[in-house]
Amino acid sequence: MMDKEKLYIAKRLLEAKAQSVLFYLFRLFPIRKKKIVFCCIEGTTGYSCNPKYIAEEFLRIDDGYELVWLVNDDSKQFPHGIHKVRNSLWYRAYHLSTAKVWVDNSRKQLEVRKRKNQLYIQTWHAKLGFKPTCLDRGKSFSRIAYLVSKHDSDMIDYVLSNSAWYDNTLPTGMLYTGPVLRMGSPRCDILINNRETAHMCIRKFYNLPADAKIVMYAPTFRGGSQGIKRSLQQSIHTPDYNQLVQALEKRFGGMWYILLRLHPQLTVRHVGADKRNARLLDVSFVDDMYELLAACDAFLTDYSSAAFDAAVMKIPVFLYVDDYEEYEAERGKLLWDLKKLPFPLGCSNDELDNQIVNFDNYEYQEKLQWFFDQNDVMEDGKASVHICQFLVQEMMR
């Protein structure tokens, strides 16, 4: 008898083959040369991440491009000029089949089929990152995950990159050996170009003092939390927020507030923040975390790749990891030795407190610059412009 995994895979492949019929059916319609279809995390998030900032650049040049965004939640808001489409199989098949360009930051579904003369740009949702993916996960990389990843990678024409380090991870981390566009991360453009505006707007929006200091805490998703409805405050992996604020105020002065940004996998499970903490603001349901991050004075995470993005702003980035061995056992060996990164590391509340209170900014900035130089990191604040110019040229062919 077939085991459960083989039965599950057989079912998924059969379903995908049946659903792919729609993609072949819609080949009766011509490819529209100025049509671009965007999607984020299989439609589960709204107007955000790298695809958002590429779309913004196309809106800016305003040259008659048809911009379509596939999204699961019809209530998500998009700017004028972007056609919001429900990410159902029928609409997905039609719009992907008739678009010249696809822009995505995660894997396409197994049923998706790409036509000749279409262009698929994979921006991904993490460049420099902690967590292993694909073959780098070792035994925790399941067979079905391999099939989905390989199916997607075989359709990709270009992967967007921001560093030599990321280029080198692609064969095992993404099952991809094709062309790479070293143009930076579009979502980081706002962190370089719009910090002053974001600083003012975010404090005004959340009714914070104009001189308030902000730290964003953005923990990653842990598989063990799946299906559990709970407050993150009840997790043993959460830092003591009161102690965190006190340490920040002791070292840097001012009045500090925490923006809590939970992983999308938790927000869809309705996990939220403790409303009793006056210094804690839950911003988990804001579509674009980078509009918020641009206004921050410090950043705290465990294993989120956003740490490397926040570092582009040269702000203090701290790591709080009290489950390092447990997390590696579940996820696979991390891609970096955390102790060798520029980011001060705390494995307990007291250690984190000590790292903040004794933070040496001069030493930190030196380590950051060395890290960027060693890994040939490119983030010039013009990634959206670079990729847009490239796509315009490709679409004119």
Q: Which range, of 50-54, 55-59, 92-96, 135-139, averages the lowest pLDDT?
A: 135-139
Predicted confidence band at 62 (pLDDT cuts at 50, 70, 90)?
very high
Quote the percentage of the chain above a pLDDT of 90: 84
Predicted confidence band at 238 (pLDDT cuts at 50, 70, 90)?
confident
Q: Which range, of 120-124, 246-250, 266-270, 306-310, averages the lowest pLDDT?
A: 266-270
Closest CA to 391 of 5, 125, 38, 115: 38
- Positive or negative: CA dihedral 22, 27, 32, 33: positive
Token representation of residue 169: 């991870």
Token representation of residue 327: 């997390």
**CA–CA gap between residue 198 and residue 51 (Å, rounded):** 20
Predicted confidence band at 302 (pLDDT cuts at 50, 70, 90)?
very high
**Torsion angle of alpha carbons 146, 149, 152, 158, nearest 10°?**
-130
Region 28-48: what's the mean pLDDT?
A: 96
Beta strand ranges found along the chain (DSSP E): 32-39, 66-71, 82-86, 99-104, 119-122, 158-161, 180-182, 213-217, 256-260, 280-282, 298-301, 317-320, 345-346
Q: Are 81 and 60 in contact, with CB atoms under 8 Å apart?
A: no
Region 127-138: what's the mean pLDDT?
A: 92
Q: Which residues of 146-155 are buried (b: 16+ CB within 10 A; e: fewer)?
A: eebbebbbee
Within a 13 Å sphere around the CA of 181, how many CA atoms are in the beta-carbon half?
Answer: 23
Q: Quote the mean pLDDT of the chain.
A: 92
pLDDT of residue 275: 53
**CA–CA gap between residue 307 and residue 319 (Å, rounded):** 8
- What is the SS3 assignment for 241? helix
Predicted confidence band at 270 (pLDDT cuts at 50, 70, 90)?
very low
Region 5-22: what's the mean pLDDT?
A: 96
**CA–CA gap between residue 387 and residue 184 (Å, rounded):** 9
pLDDT of residue 235: 52
Query: Can you identify the CATH homologous superfamily of domain 191-374?
Result: CDP-glycerol glycerophosphotransferase, C-terminal domain (3.40.50.12580)
pLDDT of residue 332: 78
| Helical axes 4-19 vs 143-155, angle rounded to 10° | 30
Q: CATH 3.40.50.12580 in the chain: give the residue spans.
A: 191-374
Q: CATH 3.40.50.11820 in the chain: give the residue spans.
A: 16-184+381-396
Q: Are 107 and 176 in contact, with CB atoms under 8 Å apart?
A: no
pLDDT of residue 286: 92
16-184+381-396 is classed CATH 3.40.50.11820: yes
**CA–CA gap between residue 234 and residue 299 (Å, rounded):** 21
Predicted confidence band at 264 (pLDDT cuts at 50, 70, 90)?
low
Task: Please state the pTM of the whole predicted model.
Answer: 0.91
Above 50 in pLDDT, residue 269?
no
Above 90 in pLDDT, residue 273?
no
Quote the percentage of the chain above a pLDDT of 70: 92
DSSP secondary structure, 287-337, as one string: S-HHHHHTT-SEEEESS-THHHHHGGGT--EEEE-S-HHHHHHHH---SS-
Above 60 in pLDDT, residue 268?
no
